[in-house]
Structure 1
Amino acid sequence: MARVPTSKDVARVAGVSQSTVSYVMSGKRPISEKTRRLVEDAIAQLTYQPHAGARALAGRRTNVVAAVVPFRTPLSAHGLMAFVEEIALAARARDHDLLIVTADEGPGALQRVAGRALCDAVVVMEVRTDDERAAVARSLGRPTLFIGFPQDAEGLHCIDFDFEGAARLLVAELAAAGNREVVVLGWAPELAELGINYVSRFRAAAEAAAAEHGVALRWCAVPSGHGAVEECVADVLGAPGAPPGLLASTGAQAALSALLRRELVPGRDVDLVALCTDAEAEALPVPLTAVSPQPRDVSRQAMEWLFALLEAPGSPGELRRVPAELTRRRSVRTAG
């Protein structure tokens, strides 16, 4: 295997000291044009690539933001792409590149990108309630922002959509329409098993809201895979009596399709609300009453905060929530 060239090799080929090579790369001292060209020619000849850590130690930023985004399943990867796209756009708008770490490495991913000085700041996503990355984040020595709330958030900077508020609004809407039972088409069981924090937050708030409004609540976790929502809806509608109010925290389009195939029209025969983006809710054959999780707005606010932290390191930890808002459309009947 060929040896990777070092700054010492560059100095030898250019006929200058190693410190001069460092000054050329860092810009910390004035260097003559002749010497600069010698160093640059040697770098090109050797195809030398200065380590991001060396540039950082020399007082220069990498102009890179790292996003630690474990893509655990194809479904979770799809759901996260709106967040990632907005993070990338926000980074480029500030002349930063985005390094995406998709492996599910736990704290190892943070230690790797920070230990090798690959970035100036880190965004952490797919946060678990008991997230081992929280402890590591406190020792990184660079701004780190969690999109999600780990249980141990002491001293951390965390932002997320208000999933609790969304659950309360959606359950209250179904209760106000006269439903005495609410069935939640919930996230896949593996997300709950992993401890992804927004799942437990949403479920706990939904159960509390149901108790407050005097309605029964049933959680139907939708497994990953084609046809899973259809099966859950069939199971719910197979019970005797009037159909319950349906709350789709995932699979809103599939839930609507399952109802329409049974000639049940939301807003006429049954009530259906969803946690989905406004674009998705409005594009469906029956526009859904919904709360949007606002992935792009969450990402924009996260990046604005992250760059503020870059300019003001050492800011105290804080938890921020992006408020939930209900938009009424045509999928819920008028009470009575």
Structure 2
Amino acid sequence: MSSRPVTLADVARHAGVSASTVSYALSGKRPILDETRGRVERAVRELGYHPNTSARALAGKRSHMVALVVPLNTDVYVPTMTEIAISVTVTARQHGYNILLMTNDEGPEEVRRIAAGGLADGVILMDIRVGDERIPALRAQGIPTVLIGWPDDPAGLSCVDHDFPTMGALCADHLADLGHRDIAFVGYARAVYERHAGYAVRTLHGFRERAERRGLRFVHRPCEGTYESTAGTVARILADRPDTTGFVVQNEGAIGPLLDLLRASGRTVPEDASVIAICPESLAEQYTPRLTAVTGPKRELGQVAFEQIMARITAATEGAQPEDELRLLVPDLVIRESTAPAPGRGARP
């Protein structure tokens, strides 16, 4: 039998609550339901838990701030990032924390400064890139860290993200099921792929893998998202692949221009060309026809990220090894009026 001391995380698992709830139940710093407090107290007795006094002293030195590093790249869709940041902030206030807002332009040196200077008890990073250079800097400092995104190596981290590969796969499957065989994927600007933004790279990978499995003929075209760049992208697609009847769009700026350009080319949506977007539901509902879309729960993303950072902060104050929690949030495919069976084909059963 293991001789390691019982930790607050052990109590949380035994009681079926979060580590932060156990901390509040024991400290009395926040009101807890009597039933929940009773479960925590029973778990404490049954496991023989004894709070770590040195950790409690460390807890008294908390800044009660969490640094949230948000992207300010011109190629990101600001409303989505804003909604995630608001969700993190609201959840933080519920835990008695404030948010220190940073931008990813400040890079590894700035996150090192935050970690070393005690300005924040933990860091939440957004816009994770493949081979993100900020992650080793935070690992070296040992500060509790949570990623909204998925790195190459998640060991020693907690991560939450939309399941972008599944988003891409859902788009390929939906169009294949409708009988489409020639598909165009209109993506973000080339610079997004060159900086290895995880949300773009992983979506394209999921789409490509599923499209190949379903025997689809497809082409990926990066797009700046302006009307002019979308016009050039669509013109090249239709010149090179005139039989294209299905369009997947992962670029919020390109959606409206694409619909206009298809109409201008004499293609009616969805009778002649089907369009499926990876975008927020609110955006999908704005267009005519309303867009079939794949989307993920942005508010839940922020809530889960902050719960994860609280668990890691609590473990650190207890002198315990935090558990790595890796979560991918399941996307939804909502079928609306912009997709239909391919011309001359029925939907596959």
Q: What SS does the corresponding residue of 2:288 show, helix, strand or coil?
A: coil
Q: 1:162 corresponds to which residue?
A: 163
1:333 aligns with one of 322, 331, 340: 340
1:254 aligns with one of 250, 257, 261: 257
Cα shift at 1:132: 1.6
Write the letter of the residue equivalent to 1:299: G
Cα shift at 1:263: 4.7
Task: Answer yes or no: is the 8 Å Cα contact 1:230–1:254 preserved in 2.
Answer: yes
Q: What SS does the corresponding residue of 1:259 show, helix, strand or coil?
A: helix
Which structure is richer in relative contact order (CA contacts within 8 A, separation 6 or more)? Answer: 2
Between stretches 73-82 and 263-272, larger displacement belongs to 73-82
Between stretches 225-234 and 100-109, larger displacement belongs to 225-234
Listed one character per residue, the Cα deviations across residues 214-259 of structure 1 (whole Å, up to 9, x for unaligned) are 0112100002545322331233234464333100011333322332
Listed one character per residue, the Cα deviations across residues 123-182 of structure 1 (whole Å, up to 9, x for unaligned) are 001111111222222233332101111112221111110000011110111111111111
1:312 aligns with one of 299, 311, 315: 315
| CA distance in structure 2 between the aligned counterparts of 1:136 and 1:181, rounded to whole angstroms | 44
Q: 2:26 corresponds to which residue?
A: none
- Asked which structure has the greater CA Rg, the reply is 1
Are 1:302 and 2:309 counterparts? no
| CA distance in structure 2 between the aligned counterparts of 1:195 and 1:74, rounded to whole angstroms | 13
1:270 aligns with one of 269, 273, 290: 273
Identity score, percent: 29
Write the letter of the residue equivalent to 2:200: V
Write the letter of the residue equivalent to 2:248: L
Deviating runs (4+, > 6 A) in structure 1?
none
Cα shift at 1:213: 0.5
Q: 1:73 corresponds to which residue?
A: 74
Where does the alignment leave 5 or more consecutive residues of structure 1 unmatched?
Answer: 1-55
| CA distance in structure 1 between the aligned counterparts of 2:169 and 2:241, rounded to whole angstroms | 27
Q: 1:285 corresponds to which residue?
A: 288
Q: 2:190 corresponds to which residue?
A: 189
Task: Answer yes or no: is the 8 Å Cα contact 1:134–1:153 preserved in 2.
Answer: no
| CA distance in structure 1 between the aligned counterparts of 2:76 and 2:144, rounded to whole angstroms | 29
| CA distance in structure 2 between the aligned counterparts of 1:258 and 1:113, rounded to whole angstroms | 47
Q: 1:324 corresponds to which residue?
A: 331
- Counterparts in 2 of 1:74-93, with a 5 A limit? 75=76, 77=78, 79-93=80-94
Between stretches 161-170 and 231-240, larger displacement belongs to 231-240
**Please, what TM-score do these two structures have when normalized by structure 1?**
0.77
The verdict on how the C-alpha distance between 1:240 and 1:189 changes in structure 2, with shifts beyond 3 A counting, is closer
Write the letter of the residue equivalent to 1:293: G
| CA distance in structure 1 between the aligned counterparts of 2:59 and 2:282, rounded to whole angstroms | 47
**What number of residue pairs does the alignment pair up?**
281
Q: 2:15 corresponds to which residue?
A: none
Q: CA RMSD in A?
A: 2.2
| CA distance in structure 2 between the aligned counterparts of 1:177 and 1:59, rounded to whole angstroms | 60
**Please, what TM-score do these two structures have when normalized by structure 2?**
0.74
Q: What SS does the corresponding residue of 2:185 show, helix, strand or coil?
A: strand
Listed one character per residue, the Cα deviations across residues 306-327 of structure 1 (whole Å, up to 9, x for unaligned) are 2233333332223210012211
| CA distance in structure 2 between the aligned counterparts of 1:300 and 1:318, rounded to whole angstroms | 14
Q: 1:242 corresponds to which residue?
A: 243
Q: 1:7 corresponds to which residue?
A: none
- Counterparts in 2 of 1:1-336, with a 5 A limit? 59-73=60-74, 75=76, 77=78, 79-223=80-224, 225-239=226-240, 241-251=242-252, 252-313=255-316, 314-334=321-341, 335-336=345-346
